[in-house]
Amino acid sequence: YLSKEVFDQLKTKKTSFGSTLLDVIQSGVENLDSGVGIYAPDADSYTVFADLFDPIIEDYHGGFKKTDKHPPKDFGDVDSLGNLDPAGEFIVSTRVRCGRSLEGYPFNPCLTEAQYKEMEEKVSSTLSGLEGELKGTFYPLTGMSKEVQQKLIDDHFLFKEGDRFLQAANACRFWPTGR
């Protein structure tokens, strides 16, 4: 995908967050066995580096082109679902996983330590306002004991630290700040 022609076209481009082609391809450069080899350091990267991203995304998703439209969501009549486990025998818990993609911020590879802290504050303060059945517990990694961390990993609520592909893409900088 990264032919000399594409490289020459993209090598001097930068996103509004200052991300470069090197930021996009760094993980693949360091890990030649990577399945994809690129990471978007910010949302603008998909546009600025579209000549690289678009064909990879299309291939990865089996021919789904940039111009294709996702079908409208159809969950049916959600009110007809009722209580899926009225006796409480099967559903032990549910979870919602939130990714750090907030408007006005780059993605992990280009976040500063201060931005991680800002984002954690925004997310935790927003979540703390939830009430009733939406209320839960926010577990910041900073200051978390090893025992609590392992329990959350065992219960599939917490993911282990980033892998070498994410580390090479700078997605694990300032660990565990803001997570």
Where does the chain have alpha helices with state H? 4-10, 21-30, 45-48, 50-60, 113-128, 146-154, 164-168
Q: Is 100 marked within a binding site?
A: no
89: buried, middle or exposed (CB in 10 Å: 19+, 13-18, 0-12)? exposed
For CA atoms 54, 170, 29, 165, give the dihedral sign. Answer: negative
Q: Is 45 marked within a binding site?
A: no
Q: Is 15 marked within a binding site?
A: no
Q: Is 92 marked within a binding site?
A: no
Q: Is 95 marked within a binding site?
A: yes
Rounded to whole angstroms, what are the CA distances from 167 to 31, 111, 137, 141, 161?
10, 13, 28, 17, 9
Q: Is 94 marked within a binding site?
A: yes
For the annotated binding site for ATP, the residues are: 93-97, 156
| Residues tagged in the binding site annotation | 93-97, 156
